[in-house]
């Protein structure tokens, strides 16, 4: 079966979004260093000039692509009494066609510029909002614990799958993860 050429996107907002989504996919799979603007524009079905027009450069595209994925409201909108179960499902299954940002975050570590952007965005858009949501007494510690456990889960589900997690977590591991996440919200 022959590959079908993507239809050109005409609308500016849809074009920009297509570039962002293609960048999120590429940066999550191949990492910042191994992803070229050509890879992204080919996936988005647009010309390379449009990346410069909408984002300026690859680094700015990376920043906007990651920023678009780091939405702490998806986490802090979860009802506290169901936090453990709901966040585990979110981390295991994702949010519709959107990607979980952790693979993109981890794949950025090979480039100092991308790593600096990632550190700043994680602090501003994830850790600080979570710390406020978890509360003034232990908020920062709980946000850190959340990030540690969710990052580890993502590594061993998506990057280096363990058979006790993929395709479904072992029931004992699932129960432990639910308890750990729920303890953060209680």
Q: Digits of tens for pLDDT over the chain (186 positions)?
A: 455 555 555 688 899 999 999 999 999 889 999 999 999 999 999 999 999 999 999 999 999 999 999 988 889 999 999 999 999 998 888 655 456 788 899 889 889 999 999 999 999 999 999 999 999 989 999 999 999 999 999 889 888 899 999 999 999 999 999 999 999 999
3-state secondary structure of 98: strand
What's the pLDDT score for residue 1?
47
User: Does residue 69 contact residue 104 with C-beta atoms inside 8 Å?
Assistant: yes
Domains of the chain, by residue range, sit at 12-66, 70-185
What's the pLDDT score for residue 102?
83
What's the pLDDT score for residue 93?
83
Question: How is residue 96 written in tokens?
Answer: 């519709």
Query: Topology of domain 12-66, per CATH?
Result: Arc Repressor Mutant, subunit A (1.10.10)
**Under 8 Å CB-to-CB from 107, ≥6 apart: which residues?**
27, 28, 29, 30, 31, 32
**Under 8 Å CB-to-CB from 5, ≥6 apart: which residues?**
45
DSSP 160: S
User: Does residue 111 contact residue 33 with C-beta atoms inside 8 Å?
Assistant: yes
Picking from 95, 89, 118, the residue whose alpha carbon sits closest to that of residue 31 is: 118
What's the pLDDT score for residue 3?
55
What's the pLDDT score for residue 98?
57
Picking from 71, 186, 87, 65, the residue whose alpha carbon sits closest to that of residue 129 is: 71
Question: How is residue 38 written in tokens?
Answer: 């050509």
């Amino acid at each position: 079966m022959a590959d079908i050429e993507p239809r050109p996107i005409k609308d500016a907002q849809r074009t920009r979004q297509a570039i962002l989504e293609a960048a999120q996919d590429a940066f999550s799979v191949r990492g910042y260093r191994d992803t070229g603007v050509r890879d992204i524009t080919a996936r988005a079905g647009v010309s390379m000039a449009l990346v410069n027009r909408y984002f300026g450069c690859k680094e700015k595209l990376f920043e906007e692509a990651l920023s678009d994925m780091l939405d702490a409201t998806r986490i802090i909108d979860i009802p506290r009494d169901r936090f453990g179960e709901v966040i585990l499902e979110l981390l295991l299954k994702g949010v519709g066609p959107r990607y979980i940002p952790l693979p993109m975050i981890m794949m950025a570590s090979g480039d100092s510029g991308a790593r600096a952007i990632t550190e700043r965005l994680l602090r501003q858009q994830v850790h600080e909002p979570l710390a406020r949501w978890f509360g003034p007494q232990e908020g920062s510690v709980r946000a850190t614990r959340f990030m540690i456990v969710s990052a580890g889960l993502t590594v061993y589900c998506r990057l280096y799958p363990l058979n006790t997690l993929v395709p479904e977590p072992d029931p004992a591991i699932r129960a432990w993860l639910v308890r750990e996440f729920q303890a953060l919200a209680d």
